[in-house]
Amino acid sequence: MHRCRLVVAVFAALLTIGAARAQTIGFAQVGTESDWRTAFSADMKAEAERRGIHLLFSNADNDAGRQLQAVRGFIAAHVDAIVIAPVVVTGWTETLQAAKAANIPVFIADRAVDADPGLFVARIAADFNLEGRLAGAWLAQATRGNCGIVELRGSEGAEPTIQRHKGFLAIVSQFPNMRILKSVGGDFTSEGGQRAMSLVIQETDGLKNVCAVWSHNDNMLLGAIKAMHEAGLHPGRDQLTVSVDGVPGIFRAMLAGDANMSVELKSDIGKYIFDVVQKYLAGKRDFPKWVLIPSDLHTPADAAAMLSRRGF
C-alpha cells in the first residue's frame, strides 16, 4: 500500500510541475502594416504576459514565405501551440500537416486559411464579409442608392480583402445607380492608400463623378484623405468615406469632418484567442470552427466617445 501511495504522490507532483511549466506558444503575425495590426500585436503580447505564457512572436512583414518559415521554426522548437494570423489564405496545407504530424495544435486568428479545417483547432476572427455589407448598406442609405465609388483594396489574397470586397458588392450591386468606378490596391498601408488615391485623382480629373471612397481599412483611407487634401478636394463632404478597423486616426478624421463611417474591428482579442488555446491544452475539445468576434459601425456621432472610451 505504501508503494502505491508513493507512485500516486510522484505522479501528482509531475502533473503539478507540468501544469506549472510556462506554456510556450508561437505566434506568427502578419506585420506592422496598420495601426490596427500594431494594437493587435501589443494586445497579444500583454495578454500572454498576464497569463504567464512564453510567447515566441514572429513578424512576417507582410511576406507569406517568411511567415511559413516562422511556423516551421515553431514546429522545430516543439512549442505547445501555434497561433497564426495568415498573411494570405493560400499555401498553408503542407505546413499545417507538418504541425499536425508533430502533434502541435494550430489556431487561426484574425484572418483565414484556404486549407482543410481539420488541420487547425479553431479560427478566432471577425466576419469580414459582414463588415463589407455594413459599409455597403450605410453608403446605400446615405446616397439613396446613387453613387459612383472608388474602392481601395487591401493586400491581394488576404481574407479581409476578399471578403470585404464580396460583402460590399453583395449590397451595392442591388442598386442600379451604385457602381465601383475604380478599384485600386493599397496593401492596407497609409502610404499605399495615398499612392492609390493620387493615381485615381489624376485618372478621374479630380474625382469627377466620384461620390464616395470605400477603403478596406482605415489606414489606407487616412492616406487617401491626405492625397485628396493635397489636390484641394474635400473628403467627408464632397466624397463620403466608408472604411473598417475603427483606429484612433479615423475618429480624429471624423471629428475634423474628413471621414464619415468606420466599422470597428476589435483589436483586443488576445483574451479570446488564449482562452481557446489554453482550454484546448487543458483538454477541452468541443470548439466551434469559427469563434466569431463582433463588429460595430461608428460615425462622427460617437467618434469622441470612441476616442475617450478606448483610452487613446
Q: Where do contacts with ligand GZL occur on this chain (CB under 6 A)?
A: 33-34, 36-37, 110-111, 126, 160, 188, 217, 219, 244-245, 265
CB of 43 to ligand GZL, least distance (A): 13
CB of 86 to ligand GZL, least distance (A): 9
CA distance 292 to 129: 12
CB of 183 to ligand GZL, least distance (A): 17
Chain position carrying cell 502505491? 4
- 8 Å CB contact between 160 and 154: yes
Q: 94-100: list long-range contacts, CB under 8 Å, 24+ apart.
A: 95/68, 95/71, 96/120, 98/72, 99/71, 99/74, 99/75
Sheet of 177-185, strand order: 177-185, 146-153, 212-215, 240-245, 261-265, 295-298
Q: Which is nearer to ligand GZL, 143 or 217 (CB)?
A: 217
CB of 242 to ligand GZL, least distance (A): 13
Q: Which is nearer to ligand GZL, 104 or 122 (CB)?
A: 122
CA distance 291 to 277: 12
Q: Which is nearer to ligand GZL, 80 or 245 (CB)?
A: 245
CB of 85 to ligand GZL, least distance (A): 7
Q: Which is nearer to ligand GZL, 55 or 269 (CB)?
A: 269
DSSP line for 82-99: EEE--SSSSS-HHHHHHH
Q: Which is nearer to ligand GZL, 207 or 263 (CB)?
A: 263
Return the SS3 of 102: coil
